[in-house]
Amino acid sequence: MYAAERQQRIMAQAREAGRVEVVALADQLGVATETIRRDLTALERRGTLRRVHGGAIPVERLELEPTLATRVTRLTDEKRRIAARALDYLPREGTVLLDAGSTTQAVVESLPLDSDLTVVTNSVAAAAALASHPGISLYLIGGRVRGTTGAAVGIWATEALADLVVDIALIGTNGFSVARGLTTPDQQEALVKRAMVGSARRVVVLSDSSKAGDDHMHRFASLAEIDVLLTDTSLDEDVAAEIRSAGPEVVLA
């Protein structure tokens, strides 16, 4: 089979199944895995596939990073349950580092009025909501604000985080998997999230289960670097077990 024919078959299968895997393709087509990797690279250069760990996904399946306004309308019940459970991890009095994101924003909306906390955040939306909260001492991390997520990023943010030590960080993610850990599409947000992980005595990642198995371009932490993955009950139990074996506690809300 010529390379062009092989690549045509790869594309047809990717569009039918939603993704293709290197090892399975090599077995089906009777070629070496390295040949398949070269085919996937060629297809990616043409803009028809996007390489991911162990395989590839057709580009039409890849959604542009949704805005915060879009994300807050998705899986709202799951996010409320996750947020309510996240309150159990907050200290009675102490410091909380709060990431930008729709699930962390749900935590902001769930905070009791008698909360007595110091909150540090890079989220414009979270800061706006917490500014008038009677029990919160609020610190806002500066930097360039991404319009997509409302998160402050860049060197101002990472340098500020480098000098912080907080009791707990509540961090969002665009994807999580055993193979690649915690990932996000934007490099600048990944750098800030990585700095947040390094600033906290305890790290709790808040994510709905729809992000399980999604690997984005930039990794900001391995599973071994976090203490708790707090997600919803739709997470497959086999996946939950694999994540637990990698280090963090998995809590289903």
What CATH number does domain 3-61 carry, 1.10.10.10, 1.10.3720.10, 3.40.50.2000, 3.40.50.2300? Answer: 1.10.10.10
What is the arithmetic mean of pLDDT over 227-253? Answer: 95
pLDDT value, residue 50: 86
What are the residue ranges spanned by the domains of the chain? Answer: 3-61, 68-252
Burial pattern 230-253, b for ≥16 Cβ within 10 A else e, equals bbbeebeeebbeebeebebebbbb
Residue 37: which pLDDT band, with cuts at 50, 70 and 90?
very high
16-20, 34-38, 173-177, 230-234: which has the minimum mean pLDDT? 16-20
Q: Per the structure block, which two tokens stand in for 30?
A: 């009777």
Share of the chain above pLDDT 90, in %: 74
Residue 210: which pLDDT band, with cuts at 50, 70 and 90?
confident
41-50, 97-106, 149-158: which has the minimum mean pLDDT? 41-50
Domain 68-252 coded CATH 3.40.50.1360:
yes
Selected residue with higher pLDDT from 42 and 46: 42
pLDDT value, residue 211: 87
Q: Is the pLDDT of residue 245 over 80?
A: yes
What is the arithmetic mean of pLDDT over 96-104? Answer: 97
pLDDT value, residue 86: 98
Can you tell me the distance from the alpha carbon of 182 to that of 178, in angstroms, rounded to the nearest whole number? 9
Q: Residue 13, exposed/middle/buried by CB under 10 A (0-12, 13-18, 19+)?
A: middle
Return the number of other C-beta atoms located less than 10 Å from residue 23's C-beta. Answer: 11
Tell me the whole-structure pTM to 2 decimals.
0.76
pLDDT value, residue 62: 64
Helix axes 76-86, 102-110, angle to 10 degrees: 60
Q: Is the pLDDT of residue 70 over 80?
A: no
